[in-house]
Structure 1
Amino acid sequence: MTLIFRIAAILAALPFLAAPALAAKDTLTMGMTLEPPHLDPTATAAAATDEVVYANVFEGLTRIDAAGAVQPALAASWDVTEDGTVYTFHLREGVSFHDGTQFDAEDVVFSFERAMAEGSVNAQKQIFEPIEAVEALDPRTVKVTLRRPTGSFLFDLGWGDAVIVAPESADANRSAPVGTGPFRFERRVAGDRVELTRFEDYWGEAPALARATFKFIPDSAAAAAALLAGDIDAFANLPAPELVPQFEADPRFTVEIGVTEGETILAMNNAREPFSNLKVRQAISHALNRDAIIQADFDYGTPIGSHFSPVHPAYVDLTGTYPHDVEKAKALLREAGYAEGFEATLKLPPPNYARRAGEIIQQQLAQVGITVEIVPVEWAQWLEQVFKGADYDMTVIAHTEPMDIGIYARDDYYFGYDSAEFDGVMEELSAEADEGRRHELMAEAQRILAEDAVNGFLYQLPKIGVWNAAVEGLWRNTPIQANDLTEVRWRE
């Protein structure tokens, strides 16, 4: 019997022994923690949607690369007038959508006007706010006139919210997305996965992968087990930082610890008492111990004191604005009229970083007399209740959009923050083209948010990438919400 088993084992191993002579593998299964609510990046704030479709299924006039730089995409080039108010985009030839319809200037006009419309559901409508007019000069040329110079305009057009869609398919993109990217949508199995296949008529360089599957695994233990078993090939952001040493010691895997654009915050509803009281927000900021919260994520986060990425050259270290000080927090609560503290709810979405931080924050606020009830919510509930409805006291979330400090200037944003001083700085920043002055304004905006204690600024979310050691081309950092597969391949 032992001999039979030995022979069976040898036979079973033969395909693997012969593998080096075979063609390189051309499929990839990528693990993700959160499942997208739908697949239209122009109609949701959910990062998970962009992480599946950005640069893979959908493309914009520009795109953001792995280094965070603006690159041409559907626009091969562009001209800008000296005053920075008129952009003329020269579109690529021979581009088609996945359903066979041809891409031209009218699709750009349609996409921009759709996003700018009064009833638009685009989560980043501010990208399009500077636009006064968009015109198709001919099938390959689009003229965009701005109300004022906007220094970040080309970068903003590289967001997932600004991808180009076709009027023939736009209404169905939530369930059956049709773009111009190197991969076409194959199918979605709700609660499990999204499958993409290579688009054979892609205008650019064909991707090495013939098929890609995004597998949704919300449980961190299950995610790690799937990697170890080979059921998935990669997890671009592993939700189990405690297992990093195990994967680093395993030669079958590559581990890359990078950075994201994810400012992780204790968001407070500034429009609701008692969080409308500056002294209460300051007290909460003093009560928070960032180091303890980061330790719960196994020290893979970078402390922040405002809503800004530490890797940006305009970053200002404001972590000392409200140092951890329990007695100072209690004194501020007394001054605010809450000597006995108060009760509040903390709605926590599914990501592990939010749930782990939430439990520690509950304990830290209890030390200053604030009784916190933790309310776990699913992702769809969080989007509906917190992000859209502003029906919350506090929540923990990582805002992963690039350079998104401007969200604090929005009148209807879920923070409920209102500051004429901050709005003025952002208005000047929007019109400023000089990089040095832009950095000065970004620094001033950071200071205002920190001093106003708008939210509890915790840490910059790390990117813990773990994938099969034979896989190349995945991003180490996340300058934009994306799992860009265009350059991913298996080593032969």
Structure 2
Amino acid sequence: DVQYAIEWPEFPRNVEKAKQLLREAGYPNGLDVDWVTPLPTFYSRGERLIAQLREVGIRGRLQTMERGIFFQRLQGGLKEFPGTQIILNGVRIAGSWSFWYEGYFKCGGFNSRDRICVKDLDGKFDQYERSINPAERKKLAEEIQRGILENYYLVPVFRHAFVNAIGPRIVAQKWQDVFPTITTGYAYPWEDLKVKDQ
């Protein structure tokens, strides 16, 4: 998708293994979380997540809030989410993997604040930002992303596909004639698009 993004296999769905892990962690009867809070307005995804967690013995309730309040609380850190919380956040394709890292993972980042801080990965990220060597940057980017996924610091739950198509009336030889970059959500600029004569 974006520069230096890595391919990662889908996490397997294994209810029995999840129950076993809970038992090994000292929760033979499962556990309760105070709230599952999805990014507004993805409440139905939050409900689905709650149902899937309940299958393995993790019980929680859906907390809904307006988008502005949700982001204000994220900025305030953990004190804004008292008790045991599962936050179902999301990111859009914008910039690169490093854009997401800085905002959602880096110690003190905009959306990470005091929720997550892995200094070893931040050290590699600082090295990545200072480097002008593409091979070194690629290696560091891949190491950081693998570190996040292998240690389950953040768990990708789903990928929201933003699907667009080029209809038969549009004059285009390739998708780049309509969508300037792979991260473009909409065709633009509109005034440059041409329609075939009928």
The equivalences for 1:93-104 within 5 A come to none
1:406 aligns with 2:102: yes
Q: How many residues are aligned here?
A: 177
SS at match of 2:183: coil
Give the superposition deviation at 1:350: 3.4
Q: Which residue of 2 aligns with 1:364?
A: 52
SS in structure 2 at match of 1:374: coil
- Alpha-carbon shift at residue 454 of structure 1 (Å): 1.3
Greater helix fraction, Structure 1 or Structure 2: 2
Aligned-residue offset at 1:365: 0.5
Query: Quick one: distance in 2 between partners of 1:399 and 1:423?
Result: 20
CA distance in 1, matches of 2:95, 2:186: 15
Which residue of 315, 336, 340 maps to 2:29? 340
Displacement of 1:444: 0.5
Over the aligned positions, Cα root-mean-square deviation in angstroms equals 3.1
Query: What letter corresponds to residue 432 of structure 1 in structure 2?
Result: S
In 1, are the aligned partners of 2:2 and 2:182 still within 8 Å (CA)? Answer: no
Moved more, 311-320 or 361-370: 311-320
- Partners of 2:16 and 2:47 in 1: how far apart? 21
Distance (whole Å) between structure 2 residues aligned to residue 316 and residue 427 of structure 1: 19
Match of 1:377 among 65, 69, 72: 65
Tell me if the contact between 2:2 and 2:183 (Cα under 8 Å) persists in the aligned partners: no
CA displacement at 1:474 relative to structure 2: 5.6
Query: Cα gap change, 1:476/1:335 in structure 2, threshold over 3 Å: closer, same or farther?
Result: farther
Change (3 A) 1:465 1:387: farther
450 and 349 in structure 1: CA distance in 2 versus 1, 3 angstrom threshold:
closer
3-state DSSP of counterpart to 2:61? strand
CA contact (8 A) 2:38 2:45 kept: no
Percent pairwise identity: 18
> For residue 190 of structure 2, what is the aligned residue in structure 1?
488
Amino acid of the residue matched to residue 87 of structure 2?
T
The amino acid of 1:384's aligned partner reads Q
Unaligned ranges ≥5, structure 2? 172-176
Post-superposition Cα deviations, 1:259-293, rounded to whole Å, max 9, x if no partner, equal: xxxxxxxxxxxxxxxxxxxxxxxxxxxxxxxxxxx
Q: Distance in 1 between matches of 2:102 and 2:165?
A: 32
1:491–1:317: structure 2 CA closer, same or farther, 3 Å change rule?
Answer: closer
CA distance in 2, matches of 1:477, 1:312: 10
Q: How far apart, CA to CA, are the structure 2 residues paired with 1:397 and 1:478?
A: 23
Displacement of 1:456 in angstroms is: 2.0
Q: Superposition pairs for residues 188-337 of structure 1, below 5 Å?
A: 311-312=1-2, 314-319=4-9, 322-337=11-26
Query: Given the two structures, how large is their TM-score scaled by the length of structure 1?
Result: 0.32
Tell me the alpha carbon deviations over residues 156-198 of structure 1, each in whole angstroms, 9 at most, x when there is no partner: xxxxxxxxxxxxxxxxxxxxxxxxxxxxxxxxxxxxxxxxxxx
In structure 2, do the counterparts of structure 1 residues 439 and 412 end up closer, same or farther at CA, with 3 Å as the change threshold? closer
Conservation of the 8 A alpha-carbon contact between 2:107 and 2:119: no
Report which of the two structures shows the higher radius of gyration computed on alpha carbons: 1
SS at match of 2:123: helix
- Go from structure 1 to structure 2 and tell me whether the alpha carbon gap of 1:418 and 1:389 turns closer, same or farther (over 3 Å shift): closer
**Preserved CA contact (<8 Å) 2:37 2:86:** yes
Cα distance in 1 for residues equivalent to 2:167 and 2:8: 38
Which TM-score applies when normalising by structure 2?
Answer: 0.72
- Give, in whole Å, the separation in 2 of the partners of 1:413 and 1:339: 36
Please tell me the residue identity of whatever aligns with 2:14.
D
Give runs of ≥4 in structure 1 deviating > 6 Å. 466-473
- TM-fit CA distance, 1:371: 0.7
- Which SS does the other structure have where 1:375 is aligned? coil
**Post-superposition CA distance 1:353-411 (Å, at most 9, x none):** x3332222111111111012112222112112234444332232321232222331232
1:397 to 85, 89, 98: 89
Per-residue CA distance 1:129-174 (angstroms, 9 max, x = gap): xxxxxxxxxxxxxxxxxxxxxxxxxxxxxxxxxxxxxxxxxxxxxx
Distance 1:373 1:314 in 2: 37
Aligned counterparts of 2:180 and 2:47: Cα–Cα separation in 1:
29
Flag the structure with higher strand content. Answer: 1
Q: Give the whole-Å Cα distance in 1 for the aligned partners of 2:69 and 2:50.
A: 21
331 and 374 in structure 1: CA distance in 2 versus 1, 3 angstrom threshold: same
Does structure 2 retain, via aligned residues, the 8 Å contact 1:350–1:377? yes
